[in-house]
Amino acid sequence: MSTLERIQAGLNGITFKVVSSREGTTTIEIAIGDAKETIRRLRDACGFETNTFVTAVDRQPKTPRFELAWQFLSYKHNDYVRVHAAVEASHPHAPTITDLFAGTAYSERECFDMFGIVFDGHVGLKRLLMPEDYDHFPLRKDFPHQGIEPDRLYREWDRRRRERQPLAEESES
Amino acid sequence: MTQAHLGHAHAKGEPHTFEFSPGAIDKDDPLHGELMNLNMGPQHPATHGVLRIKVVLDGETMKYVEPVVGYLHRGKEKTCETLGWRKFFVHTDRLDYLQPLMNNCSYAMALESLAQMSVPQRGQQIRVLLMELSRIMAHLIYLGTTAIDLGAITMFFFTFSEREKIYTLLDAYTGHRMNNTYVRIGGVYADLDERVAREVRKWCEQFPAKIDEFEQMLTGNRIWYDRNRDIGVLTKEQCMSWSLTGPNLRASGYEWDLRKNRPYSGYENYQFEIPIGAKGDCYDRYAVRIEEMRQSVRILMQVLDALEKTQGGEFLAHDRRYVLPPKEAVRNSMEEMIHQFKIVTDMALPKGEAYHAVESSKGELGFYVVSDGTSHPVRCHIRAPGLMNVQAIPVLMHDRLFSDTVSIIGSLDFVMGEVDR
């Protein structure tokens, strides 16, 4: 039984589209509303035991703007499956799958950090790599590589430090 | 809440608590005292890089642990989108800087599967040689640094002097000790010289004796055993749920190795075993890595034999869309000149997406690349095994003594360059 047949049998009742990938991994496209159920079935009915990664692709200026990508690995059947779902820029929300695959906790946090996609239901969804009071989402296409006001946070932190420290101590150093 | 309870809750698929709840503290415990907040890192020798660990201590027991990453974030994925496919090669070296050539190979293979091109046999063999040397290098760092953190200072010098020899070998081949960037799309940059191959063989012949020496120091050593046995126990199910791969998964007793199960670069032609552990504790992870080094040497010897047979063969593909022509040809032929110009200025890869993973020393290292048919990627996602290894820290450290942090961090084995990209 090929990977696709196994997935077709497991995802009976959910509409999905098979898309091509260059390296031959079975890739399916689903609606974001079906994501949770699809991934649950992939785990329980199709035997995908582990999550490889969760990430997003910014397709600007196309609409819908974001494309989420999950990849799962089945140790038993020795194959991967990749799941795509489009996310609108006006409502960048996706369901969390941390309750199905606990290991996606950091990947989802990273995705939120870099693209601003909110994973509903994630316990402790906060920035992973950027500072917590950072304003932008760096991997979006409208974010320039050199950054937007790269020193803003340093100035902010410096200001706060000065406020905390008494003036006399400041002049001594 | 005990370790076993956490493991159980987790096996059912519930996420573990991310926020510290005072309810988790057992007030009737005679050892219960005042809670203390402690920051370990980001500047701490035992965190192996700029990792910060927030700990809530009750006496000496860790009640809440949260790793904070991102201190080494350099925006490598964004850099890839800005620089383009070709120029990102040098940046892959800086991900897991203990094994730059492994990252090079993984990235090159992802681009090759996107371009759907094949690599000549000799190119693949040289890549296997480089990848296995990288694996040994990374495992030596693991062994040396973990041992020095647990007080075995001699081990650090033993492993680093071996690592130094590999640096010398790589220096002879690539011209650099670190950050080699010697792998290209379609093969490797230059052929492996016969004299260098002889040196590698000489090193391979003496290395197993050195591993015995390491084992004499640590295996069965009472202190090493007590500090590692039954500490940081990971079950198979936990590893799968937490996306842990590589030696950490194998130490928990699951036989899975991308080199065996999904072979690439001709790994199916070499004889080697996959070591697995029984308990999944820090000691098993140590034992698995020791045995992996022996198996790597075994593969290296076979590769060197195979390389002798393909002496003088092609090591770089001839596809002029992606592979630079030799300098001599560029000087003498107009067409080759145009090819060189096209590749250097604007090397476009076909539209589509691809993922390719290799078994790095820390687990499944993959690159997920998305192209729109131009020279600059839409997305280049790095599937770093280290990030997943960091995720296991809170579960493993919960309700353990503070001194166990060192064994657990060391045995999970991650490099912050890769975790933070």
What digits encode the pLDDT tens for the residues B315-339? 888 888 888 888 888 889 999 899 8
Q: Are B221 and B147 in contact (CB under 8 A)?
A: no
Tokens of B192: 């492996």
Mean pLDDT for B115-129 is 91
Q: Which pLDDT does position B12 carry in this prediction?
A: 36
Place of tokens 């041992």: B147
- What's residue A166's pLDDT? 63
**What tens digit of pLDDT does each residue of B204-216 get?**
999 999 999 898 8
Tell me what pLDDT residue B3 has: 34
DSSP string, B73-101: ---HHHHHHHH-TGGGHHHHHTTSTTSHH
Q: Which of B101, B100, B108, B124 is nearest to B185 (CA)?
A: B108
Structural domains of chain A sorted by starting position, each given as residue range(s) with its CATH number in brackets: 3-167 (3.30.460.80)
The answer to whether B241 and B10 have CB atoms below 8 angstroms apart is yes
pLDDT for position B27: 66
Q: What is the reported pLDDT for B24?
A: 59
Residue B313, classed as helix, strand or coil, is coil
Helix (H) or strand (E) holding B222: helix B222-228
B11 has pLDDT over 70? no
A-chain residues within 8 Å CB-CB of B79?
145
Nearest CA in chain A to B350: A22
A 99-128 residues with CB < 8 A to B: 99-107, 110, 114, 123-124, 127-128
**Inter-chain residue contact B256 with A75, CB threshold 8 Å:** yes
Q: Which of B78, B244, B357 sits opposite A139 (nearest CB)?
A: B78
Q: A118-120 and A93-95: which strand pairing?
A: parallel
Average pLDDT value over all residues in chain B: 85
Is A85 within 8 Å of A65 (Cβ atoms)? no
* B249 vs A26: CA distance, rounded Å: 25
CATH number of B89-319+347-387: 1.10.645.10
pLDDT over 50 (residue B44): yes
Domain borders along chain B are 89-319+347-387
- End-to-end Cα distance, chain B: 34
pLDDT of residue B402: 86
Q: Is A15 on the interface with B (CB under 8 A)?
A: no
Q: pLDDT of B228-281, one tens digit each?
A: 888 888 888 888 888 899 899 999 988 899 998 989 988 999 999 999 988 888
pLDDT tens-place string over residues B407-416: 898 898 888 8
pLDDT in tens, B138-183: 999 999 999 888 888 888 899 999 999 999 999 999 888 888 888 9
- In this structure, the strands spanning B187-188 and B52-58 are unpaired
Dist CA B397 CA B251 (whole Å):
18
> Is residue B226 helix, strand or coil?
helix
DSSP H stretches of helix in B67-193: 76-83, 89-93, 100-115, 121-149, 153-174
Query: Cα distance from B416 to chain A (closest Cα, Å)?
Result: 11
Contact B69 A51 (CB under 8 A): no
Query: Would you state the pLDDT for residue A167?
Result: 61
Do strands B363-371 and A93-95 pair parallel, antiparallel, or not at all (unpaired)? unpaired
- Tens-binned pLDDT, residue by residue, of chain A (173 aa): 788 888 888 888 888 888 888 888 889 999 888 888 899 888 888 889 899 999 999 988 888 889 999 999 999 888 999 999 999 888 889 999 888 888 888 999 999 999 999 998 888 888 889 888 888 899 988 888 888 888 888 888 888 888 887 665 555 54
**Contacting A residues, span 20-79, partner chain B, CB-CB under 8 Å:** 20-23, 25, 27, 49-53, 55, 57-59, 69, 71, 75, 78
Decide the pairing of beta strands A26-30 and A79-87: parallel
Residue B14: pLDDT band with limits 50, 70, 90: very low
How close, in Å, is residue B146 to chain A by CA atoms? 25
Q: Would you call A102 and B390 a contact, using CB atoms and an 8 Å cutoff?
A: no
